[in-house]
Structure 1
Amino acid sequence: MSFFSDFKKFLMKGDIVALATAVVIGAAFKTIIDSVVKDVITPIIGMLTGGLDFTKKFISLDGVNYESLEAAREAKAAVITYGNLIQAIINFIIVGLFIFLFLKYYDKTKKKEEAKPAAPAGPTQEELLMEIRDELRKK
């Protein structure tokens, strides 16, 4: 076998295809979560905290009190943007919640499928052939 045929077999394994599919679905799911966080959750948190935007929170390491994060960055000051960490934690919690709810719903639908009674088994192929044989003998 050649290197390329081995590589092709490797890429076409079910696990690799499933992983690739999961990555693409995960990327799409991330886009949805990012939109929920940015367009729904963050404005609500901002409203509840009086317009507080965590991503604008920072500590200047040079001791100067800058009016904004943009001003500190223009001055090329070293800053710790702890607000971004807070926002990342909020995003993580929201993503975790969405995944939890999705998996809970998925488990519920799986349990319903498992609870359905199995369809009654029909005659096997052998039984059908015996019936046909018996009918042909009668004629």
Structure 2
Amino acid sequence: MSMLGEFKTFAVKGNVMDLAVGVIIGGAFGKIVDSLVQDIIMPVIGKIVGGLDFSNYYFPLHGQSTGLTLAEAKKAGAVLAYGNFLTISLNFLILAFIIFQMIRLMNKLRGETPPAADPENTVLLREIRDSLKK
């Protein structure tokens, strides 16, 4: 089989097509969740903390640049933009929590439950078996 034929066989396999659809839907879903975090949740958190905008917190590395926005300070020289890092980290934690909750909800809707713990008598019998082996 030629390389082109092998590539065609590979490209039209169900797994590759499923992956492509998953990536496209995941990208669109990512934009929805990002908007939820950026436009709805972060403003509320900023309001609770006192109207702070973390993204403009920085340390200038080039000298004094007080009272400037982060973009203006970056134009003036190097800055350590710790506020932007905090904002992105907080966004990640919120995003991960939202996705976790959505997966939990989907599992409940499907009727999937986590496996139950072994009954106490089964655990006890295993311990007896293991001690007898010794």
TM-score range, shorter chain: 0.7 to 0.9
- Give the AA of the match of 1:16: V
Q: TM-score, normalised by structure 2?
A: 0.76
Mind listing any 5+ residue stretches in structure 1 that lack a counterpart? 113-139
- 2:72 paired with 1:71: yes
- Deviating above 6 A after TM superposition, structure 1's stretches of 4 or more consecutive aligned residues are none
1:98 and 1:25 map into 2 onto residues whose CA distance is: 17
Max radius of gyration: which structure? 1
Offset, 1:23: 0.8
Q: TM-score, normalised by structure 1?
A: 0.73
- Give the AA of the match of 1:35: S
Partner of 1:43: 43
1:71 and 1:12 map into 2 onto residues whose CA distance is: 50
- Give the AA of the match of 2:80: I
Partner of 2:31: 31
Offset, 1:13: 1.4
Mind listing any 5+ residue stretches in structure 2 that lack a counterpart? 113-134
SS of structure 1 residue aligned to 2:111: helix
RMSD: 1.5
Structure 1, residues 83-136: CA drift from partner, whole Å, max 9, x if none?
A: 111111111111111211111111112217xxxxxxxxxxxxxxxxxxxxxxxx
Instruction: Percent identity, please.
Output: 40
Partner of 2:11: 11
Partner of 1:2: 2
Partner of 2:126: none
